[in-house]
Structure 1
Amino acid sequence: MSVFGNVHLGYVVVETNRFDDWRRFGVDAIGMHHDQLGRDLMRFRLDDQACRFLIQRGPAEDVVATGWHLDDHSTFDEIAARVRAHNVPMTEGTAEEAHLRGVERLLRFPGPKGITQEIYTKAVTTAEPLRMLASGFVTGDSGLGHVAITSSKPAQLRGYFNTVFDARLTDYIDETISGVKLKIRFLRVNERHHSIAIAATQGLPIDPIRTRVQHLNIQASTLDDVAASYQRVHELGFGMALSVGQHTNDKELSYYARTPSGFEWEVGWNPVVVDESTWEPSTHQGISIWGHTPVGQTIVDKLEQFRRAALSLAATEDTVPALSGPGIPDD
């Protein structure tokens, strides 16, 4: 049984000690709805679902879990059976964990780079009106947006998401940044061009990014929302990683801000929707048709990336081998 099309990125869990900065970033800069649940917990909403981002206190300064909304119980049972069949430990989330994530029930299991993967079938919705600066965000059948990961073992990560979610390859991008050649693989699990992006250096198994994710993406309803949030990010003093630009493959117009935890946050508009009857994977040269120029990167920043890349040579990246197997080599 294929589960493709029945899987949607539903929520993201971030662990941080920078609560005040995250509240300002999410509410005042990006423009999301905010619910304070206590000193150590808050949530951001984009739509009628009670939780799209759970921000919890802790030292990671990173994404620690991603939640996947499954259309029905048969999909839920199929994915759970796959994980168990590979002898990967799976645990049921507590009632409190489910409540905080705005779901009725969830199962959790290990994911690549230490990002726990969580699955659920029913999200809690609320009639409480959204109080946010943005006019709206695009979710629905496309899911929340996407998550981008850097990896020294891209074939294994692609194998993982294929094994668990029947992820399909949408396309590739080849890019050279500061003399380093990158290949980015874009994977979809529904109509959204990609819910997972995996970036890797070519020729040398290094990972220059400190955080488990390189960036998260949400899709704004209007171009005006993108422009307004871009201006607010600048005015409030948050870092900007890449200026406004348009991608070569999904044609999304977007910018990349720096979150208080260090990973990047992409706000985009109007990406293409994949037509399964006609789509064929292809390779694009460069990430952008125009724009997306680096903002405020110093030589110190570049040296720090090279230092992290060198350290990663001695590190072991967790790919959950039982679920990634030998991996899927590039087509």
Structure 2
Amino acid sequence: MNTTATPSVFGAVHLGYLVIETNRFADWRRFGTDAIGMHHDTLSRDLMRFRIDDHECRFLLQRGPAEDVVTLGWHIDDHESFEQIEARIRAHGVPCSAGTAEEAALRGVERFLRFPGPKGITQEIYTTPLKSAEPLKMLTSSFVTGDAGMGHVAITSTKPTHLRGFFHTVFDARLTDYIEETISGVKLKIRFLRVNERHHSIAIAAVRGLPIDPVRTRVQHLNVQAESLDDLARSYERVYELGFEMALSVGQHTNDKELSYYAVTPSGFEWETGWNPIVVDESTWEPSTHQGISIWGHKPVGQTIVDKLDQFRLGARSLVHPEKTVPALSGAGIPDD
């Protein structure tokens, strides 16, 4: 099936929720509420949620050993776009199935459809989020969601063109730009993909010339956007005061100009809290390549040579365990530099 012959769903797709599997519930509760400043709801011993706006659920945490993001939930604006996406998936022979009523309730949606995604991250789409009338109890005044979605995720990959092809085939994702960076002599190329006005909802990082993935988790980091600079500064301070590990200090990115810092979550992947990224103007935007991740800041905090060696140990392990892809949706022929 040639998806370019069908109407585009670009702009009707927004990152809506994430499902995280963890056994570290007490640490996650402290991290989410006391450090990042989100609203917390305990559902049971094995389930809890975080809210950052009027949606019932933005982060669903379920008990399990993965210590990782296991699912991305995508909010689709209308039933027509939802059906177009479902038709694309089925036309490529990829299995998809409806979630149960209980699963939908946990995610705070009326209904959803799931299908496999790259790196073993399940993808879910839905049209109708459930809203909560309960006032938010948060240390952060508010987060930016709306038309831009709830933030973004960054994924490291040994097969970046497959990932780019997947999100183009399924969601008509557009290339925003590239960043080339060298860290400790290792050259990285990062592709930034957007599905709406947010500069990127997906970032894909790859080691140039080496088929290794230096990150244990499926997702390298996730991002939420604070409403104010004061919110950003106060959450940064709380992360430090509560003793959570900081990965990168406050800095500003070269491409989206977002001011942010990176903390390490209880599950080991990173959490970027940002402020004031640019909004893409579709009428004028052209992809470009930036040299270096940051204009200033974003300095590693407390990283030692042992940490660097551990990264390469994990990278070597990735050679033994091939990266999962979804070949039928990986968009063979999608142009990529």
TM-score bin (small chain):
over 0.9
Residue 94, structure 1, aligned to residue 97, structure 2: no
The match for 1:251 is 257
**In structure 2, what residue type is equivalent to 1:49?**
H
Between 252-261 and 292-301, report the one with greater CA deviation.
Answer: 292-301
Instruction: State the SS of the aligned residue for 2:230.
Output: helix
Letter in 2 for 1:140: G
1:329 CA displacement: 4.5
Matched with 1:228 is 234
* Counterparts of 2:131 and 2:260, CA distance in 1: 28
Q: Mark the runs of 5 or more structure 1 residues left unpaired by the alignment.
A: none
Whether the 8 Å CA contact 2:76–2:126 is kept in 1: the answer is: yes
Gapped runs of 5+ residues in structure 2? Answer: 1-6
Q: Confirm or deny: 8 A CA contact 1:90 1:109 kept in the other structure.
A: yes
Matches within 5 A, 1:50-69: 50-69=56-75
The residue number in structure 1 matching 2:185 is 179
Superposed, 1:1-331 pairs within 5 Å as 1-326=7-332, 328-331=334-337
- Runs of 4+ aligned residues of structure 1 deviating over 6 Å after TM superposition are none
Question: Separation in 2 of the partners of 1:327 and 1:52?
Answer: 34
CA offsets per residue over residues 76-112 of structure 1, 9 Å max, x none?
Answer: 0000000000111101000011000000000000000
1:328 Cα deviation (Å)? 3.2
Residue identity over aligned pairs, in percent, reads 80
- Deviation sequence 1:56-76 (CA, Å, 0-9, x none): 100000000000000000010
Structure 2 distance, partners of 1:20, 1:328, is 44
1:67–1:117 CA contact under 8 A, matched in 2: yes
Q: Secondary structure at the match of 1:209?
A: coil
> Deviation at 1:185?
0.2
Write the distance in 2 (CA, Å) between the matches of 1:263 and 1:124.
28
User: What secondary structure does 1:313 align onto?
Assistant: helix
Give, in angstroms, the shift of residue 160 of structure 1.
0.2
- TM-score (structure 1 length as normaliser): 0.99
Q: Secondary structure at the match of 2:324?
A: coil
Q: CA deviation at 1:299?
A: 1.3
More displaced 10-residue stretch of structure 1: 47-56 or 294-303: 294-303
User: TM-score, normalised on structure 2?
Assistant: 0.97
Shift, 1:327, TM fit: 5.7
Residue 315 of structure 1: CA displacement? 2.0
